[in-house]
Amino acid sequence: MGLSNASGDLSTEVEVDAFRCLFPLRFYEKHLLESIRPDARPLGRARETTIALGAVASANGSALAKIGSTTMLAAIKMEVMTPSLETPDEGCIAIDFHMPPICSPIVRPGRPAEAAPVVAKQLSDTILSSGMINLKELSLVSGKAAWMAYLDIYCLDADGALFDTALLSAVAAFSHLEIPVVSLNDDGKIVLSEEQGLSDREPVNKEKRKINLSSIPFSLTCVLHKNYILADPTAEEESIMDTILTVVLDSSSQLVSLHKPGGTVLAYTSAIQDCIALTRQRVKELQKILEEAISGMEVD
């Protein structure tokens, strides 16, 4: 009797999996009627999120961020540069986003992932336009030396909401960032004190310091399907329901950007307002997670 029940359960499970593979949209719509998703989340709930600071020991600032299975590793390396004539009192930030073949079956070796340059551009626009970092803080000597912050983000697992996870890892890495101590060498150039053995010289900046962050941006991606809004979609949900809307708010809940890359569903005003409301709730969650990660790092 027990064997018969086990066989029946297995048969039912196989049938469900087959139906999901053959008719993915119908499979999801059956769940949407019950306001639930296949992973048991309510429509408006994001996946479990974690942040680990200091994931890369050789970087000046780094963080590992996970939203569900989507995993991003962000690392920042600081280098001294000569500022441009247009902005002699400002440093620069260079952002690169990498999607190696290990992150997803759809990324092929030798071919750049289509999503990589799109996410990189979104990240650059968001970080610079939000005003999170005052580039004047990266200046060392006006017109002569400033910091160039190289931010590299590696996607280790791509299971939806790539931009949300990448932005979170970037924000966390900048929260962990420490500006190195630099000194003047014999040629009058500014170099890292530790690397050049100039610890006895008068440093240009007295000690390692954190960078001041303000108006920190956080984002939430939603997929729109008929009258339904699904927050923090998985890769499967993004592929089935092709209308995606990403809302970016800063830590004061001010709108930074709204991104809708096409799709078959029109983003009506009511839908946009609902997505913004979900993002406001999400910002509070992410702020708390980031604060706990920073507090945990200080204790260690």
Among 201, 190, 242, CA closest to 221: 242
114 or 17: which carries more pLDDT confidence? 114
205 or 99: which carries more pLDDT confidence? 99
pLDDT-derived band at 24, boundaries 50, 70, 90:
confident
147 or 207: which carries more pLDDT confidence? 147
Quickly tell me which residue has 């719509």 as its tokens: 29
pLDDT-derived band at 241, boundaries 50, 70, 90:
confident
Q: CA 158, CA 106: separation in Å to the nearest integer?
A: 10
> What's the fold here for domain 41-298?
Ribosomal Protein S5; domain 2 (3.30.230)
3-state secondary structure the chain: CHHHHHHHHHHHHHHHHHHHHHCHHHHHHHHHCCCECCCCCECCCCCCEEEEECCCCCCCEEEEEEECCEEEEEEEEEEEECCCCCCCCCCEEEEEEECCHHHCCCCCCCCCCCHHHHHHHHHHHHHHHHCCECHHHHEEECCCEEEEEEEEEEEEECCCCHHHHHHHHHHHHHHHCEECCEEECCCCCEEEHHHHCCCCCCECCCCCEECCECCCEEEEEEEEECCEEEECCCHHHHHHCCEEEEEEEECCCCEEEEECCCCCCCCCHHHHHHHHHHHHHHHHHHHHHHHHHHHHHHHC
- Is beta strand 70-81 parallel, antiparallel or unpaired with respect to 209-210? unpaired
Q: Work out the angle at residue 97's Cα, subtended by the Cα atoms of residues 161 and 113, and round it to the nearest 5 degrees.
A: 75
Q: Are 185 and 191 in contact (CB under 8 A)?
A: yes
Q: What pLDDT score was predicted for residue 27? A: 83
Q: CA 231, CA 157: separation in Å to the nearest integer?
A: 19
Q: CA 119, CA 200: separation in Å to the nearest integer?
A: 44
Q: Please report, for the chain, the start and end positions of each structural domain, with discontinuous segments joined by +.
A: 41-298
Out of 101-115, 222-236, 262-276, the most confident range is 222-236
Q: CA 83, CA 95: separation in Å to the nearest integer?
A: 17
Whether residue 6 has pLDDT greater than 80? no
Q: Which residues contact 280 (CB under 8 A, 6 or more apart)?
A: 249, 253
Q: What are phi and psi of 6, to 5 degrees?
A: -65, -40
Q: CA 140, CA 190: separation in Å to the nearest integer?
A: 9
Q: What pLDDT score was predicted for residue 226? A: 85
Q: Are 245 and 260 in contact (CB under 8 A)?
A: yes
